[in-house]
Chains A and B, each alone.
Chain A
Amino acid sequence: MASHTQCLASLARLSLTAPARPTVARTIPKFLLPAAAAPLVRHAGAGGMRKRPAKKKKVYKSFRCFDLGPMEQFSLCDAMRYLRAFEVGRPPAVVKYEVAVKLRTNKSGPVIRNRIRLPFPVKTDTRIGVICPEDSPLMVEAQQLGAVAVGEESLFESIRQGNIPFNKLICHVDSQDALKKANLGKLLGPKGLMPSQKTKTLTTDLKATVQDLIGADEYRERSGVVRLAVGQLGFTPQMLSDNVKSLMSLLKSDIGNADDNHPKMLDEVVLSSTNGPGFSLNGLFPPADENLKPEQLQSVM
């Protein structure tokens, strides 16, 4: 607001001579020129803006967990009955059952991250790319294992051009340095494809890793929740139960392996489907309704 002295000066000048153009002092809104509009003297006790100290927001160290007392919990078959009603008429291969496992955990610290081979795989469209030295026996091995893209510099070049025909990428240790030099982190990182020791995609044994990846699903903890698709809509209650059980047993071992400084605990298991609501599970299998039998939940969707 440096202009108000200028403005007053020009006003003074204008008062001596005939105004060449209409004066504007009156049209300037009051709140833009408070000094010109109001007297410059300030009186004590006139109020004024007193700055209050900003309220400090409470920072929680752990993710919020709710009291599950009032939460209605369902057995697996009951939840399936509702979900099948919500998903009626949908193509069964497209619609998935999903499990969200809420953990009691701190916001900081390591997260749970693992790979699981479900007894009944949910998706079967794994396409693997392998980074290994060109023209080596490893390349032939990778091709025999069913990799859709194999190579080193040629593969990097095609990735740079946006040609990514795979949804899983593994790297042999021999090509590790070449991968580092290729600077592909920006392209592959956001897609979760960058090979690393952490995700067990940097390997010395291509065969074992490829077999591990095919039909295996990855899960990781995000915001204190582990989410994973555990079944297709066409699965029977028994198939879904097997998948959920194997996931839970692996998760429990993951939780047990968490280090003592960052303890984790299981809080809630929620089953939902692509278009359905989430059902908190109580860990039981048989339906609560005695008229319903698990066999009735196997019909074609």
Chain B
Amino acid sequence: MVGAIRRLNQLTALVRIRNGPGAAVLPQDVTRLHMEFAHKLNGGHMGPRKFWRDALPRLKYWNPAIPMVVNRSNNQEGPATLTLYFREPGATLGSDIPQPSSSAEGFAKAPAPAEGERALTIDMKNRRSEAILKEFMDKSGAVAVKITAQDEADLREIEEREAMGAIARENTKKMNDAAKREKQMIAQAHSEAAAIKADL
């Protein structure tokens, strides 16, 4: 089993899911989200992918009840869209709205808005994830979560730990490289000596 300390460090890193770009509470009238893009980055799909990797987990953490469906396909020429679904003011939605679950094979197309629902589409193609997030925050009316004092302290601690880790990693690499070089030199000397002996 993975050691307790390493697991503990990973759990303190949860502060990054609670805070950062995308940590925002969506307003009550947002009913669901849908993303569609391709698996690979060519064709302008890098930004959407980054948005899914970085911002969407934070949004999901703060809005656990809102379905966030991602449809990835192998069609690199295909669209890259983010669809927001809003409840129309005063409308009540049935509980049995058909909702496909996420797919990695392109089977979960964006559903048409149900009765009493309206959809808003953001084009994500050829855009950076920061730009997508900014437009998303503006159009959805999401409220960014303020970082707590405790989380701020945790974050600082993690950053310090990572900085120290980077230094230690560099030192270890130096030592390993030196050991490797020495080994290589000895091996070379041995092979040269063997060649000389064969000559004699």
- A residues engaging B (CB < 8 A)? 3, 6-7, 10, 24, 27-29, 31-32, 66-68, 70-72, 81-82, 84-86, 88-92, 94, 100, 102, 223-225, 234, 270, 277-280, 292, 295-297, 299-301
Known A-B contacts: A102-B1, A277-B10. Give 8 more (CB < 8 A).
A85-B64, A88-B60, A90-B70, A94-B104, A223-B1, A296-B65, A299-B66, A301-B69
Q: A10-B200, A29-B189 given as contacts; is B17 within 8 A of A86 (CB)?
A: yes
Of B112-120, B122-130, B143-151, B191-199, the one touching chain A: B191-199
Partner of B64, one of A71, A72, A278, A292: A292
Q: A29-B193, A278-B2, A296-B64 given as contacts; is B35 within 8 A of A70 (CB)?
A: no
Q: A10-B200, A88-B56, A279-B11 given as contacts; is B102 within 8 A of A301 (CB)?
A: yes
Q: Is the CB of A299 within 8 A of B67?
A: yes
B57 interface contact, C-beta 8 A: yes
Please name the residue on chain B nearest to A102 by beta carbon: B1
Which one of B4, B10, B193, B196 has the highest number of Cβ atoms from chain A below 10 Å of its Cβ?
Answer: B4
- A274 CA to B59 CA in the complex, in Å? 20
B136 interface contact, C-beta 8 A: no
B99 interface contact, C-beta 8 A: yes
Interface residues of B in 149-198 (CB under 8 A from A): 189-190, 192-193, 196-197
Q: Is the CB of B65 within 8 A of A85?
A: no
Please name the residue on chain B nearest to A92 by beta carbon: B101
- B residues engaging A (CB < 8 A)? 1-5, 7-8, 10-14, 17, 35, 52, 56-61, 64-70, 72, 99-104, 189-190, 192-193, 196-197, 199-200
- A94 CA to B52 CA in the complex, in Å? 18
- A7 CA to B197 CA in the complex, in Å? 10
Partner of A89, one of B52, B64, B99, B193: B52
Nearest 8 interchain pairs by C-beta: A89-B70, A66-B4, A296-B65, A85-B61, A88-B60, A85-B60, A300-B67, A85-B57
Q: Is the CB of A72 within 8 A of B56?
A: no
Partner of A70, one of B3, B8, B60, B103: B8
Q: A70-B8, A270-B1, A280-B7 given as contacts; is B61 within 8 A of A300 (CB)?
A: no
Cβ distance A60 to chain B, nearest Cβ, rounded Å: 15
- A183 CA to B61 CA in the complex, in Å? 54
